[in-house]
C-alpha cells in the first residue's frame, strides 16, 4: 500500500511550524500501524512546477485528447492517480493555502486520467480510497473554510470516497492557548494517522 504525502509545509516558523507538527503526528502514527506501507513524499517547495499558461496548456490538451498520458507533463497526475491513500499538509494562507498547492492541483487535474466527463457530469478515476487534509490557521476554523472545502470537493471530483480533515485553528489569537490547541490537534492527527 502506498501513501502519498503532499508536503506543502511552507513556514516562517522553521521547526516550530504547526502544520509540520500535524503532518509529523499523522505520519508517525500511520507508520506505526502500517509498517509495510510505502510513504512517498511530494515536497512542493522543491518541485519545479509553474501555473498553466499558453502554450503549455495547449500542448497538454493535445496529449490528453490523443489519450497519451505517458509523458513528463502527466508525471504528477500519474503519481496522484495510483496512490492508495493521500495526505495533504498545508498552512491556512489567505483564506485557503499557499499558491504552489493550487499550481500542484492544476498538474494533477488531468481530464482523461484523474477524472473524466460523462453525460451526467464529472467522474473521478483515481485509485485512492482516502484523502486527509491537515492545516493550521491563525484564525479559528469555520464551517466554510475554503481550503477544507476545496480539498473535500477535489477528493469527490477525483473519485476518492473518503475525506478527513484536521484543522488546528485559532493559533494566532492568543499565544498562551497555542500549546493546548496544538496538543489537541496533534492528538486528532495521530488518531487519524493510526486508523488511516
Ligand X SMILES: Cc1cc2nc3c(=O)[nH]c(=O)nc-3n(C[C@H](O)[C@H](O)[C@H](O)COP(=O)(O)O)c2cc1C
- CB nearer to ligand X: pick between 87 and 136: 136
- Do residues 11 and 172 make contact, with C-beta atoms less than 8 angstroms apart? no
Nearest distance from C-beta of residue 139 to ligand X, angstroms: 3
Q: Which residues bind ligand X (CB under 6 A)?
A: 9, 11-13, 17-20, 91-95, 136-139, 171-172
Pull the grid cell for residue 132.
486527509
- Do residues 78 and 112 make contact, with C-beta atoms less than 8 angstroms apart? no
Is-cis flag, bond preceding 41, omega within 30? Answer: no
Nearest distance from C-beta of residue 1 to ligand X, angstroms: 28
Pull the grid cell for residue 119.
453525460
Q: 10 Å Cβ neighbour count for 84?
A: 15
CA angle 138, 101, 175 (to 5 degrees): 15
- CB nearer to ligand X: pick between 129 and 141: 141
Nearest distance from C-beta of residue 54 to ligand X, angstroms: 29
Nearest distance from C-beta of residue 195 to ligand X, angstroms: 24
- CB nearer to ligand X: pick between 12 and 53: 12
- CB nearer to ligand X: pick between 118 and 176: 176
Amino acid at each position: 500500500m502506498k501513501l502519498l504525502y503532499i508536503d506543502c509545509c511552507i513556514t516562517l516558523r522553521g521547526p516550530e511550524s504547526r502544520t509540520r507538527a500535524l503532518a509529523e503526528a499523522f505520519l508517525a502514527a500511520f507508520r506505526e500501524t502500517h509498517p509495510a506501507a510505502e510513504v512517498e513524499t511530494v515536497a512542493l517547495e522543491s518541485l519545479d512546477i509553474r501555473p498553466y499558461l499558453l502554450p503549455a496548456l495547449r500542448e497538454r490538451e493535445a496529449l490528453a485528447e490523443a489519450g497519451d498520458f505517458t509523458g513528463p507533463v502527466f508525471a504528477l497526475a500519474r503519481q496522484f492517480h495510483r496512490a492508495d491513500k493521500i495526505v495533504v499538509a498545508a498552512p491556512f494562507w489567505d483564506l485557503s493555502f499557499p499558491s504552489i498547492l493550487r499550481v500542484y492541483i492544476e498538474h494533477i487535474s488531468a481530464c482523461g486520467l484523474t477524472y473524466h466527463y460523462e453525460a451526467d457530469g464529472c467522474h473521478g478515476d483515481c485509485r485512492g480510497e482516502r484523502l486527509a487534509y491537515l492545516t493550521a490557521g491563525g484564525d479559528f476554523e469555520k464551517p466554510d473554510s475554503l481550503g477544507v472545502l476545496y480539498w473535500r470537493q477535489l477528493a469527490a471530483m477525483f473519485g476518492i470516497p473518503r475525506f478527513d480533515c484536521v484543522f488546528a485553528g485559532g493559533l494566532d489569537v492568543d499565544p498562551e492557548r497555542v500549546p493546548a490547541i496544538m496538543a489537541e490537534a496533534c492528538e486528532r492527527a495521530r488518531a487519524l494517522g493510526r486508523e488511516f
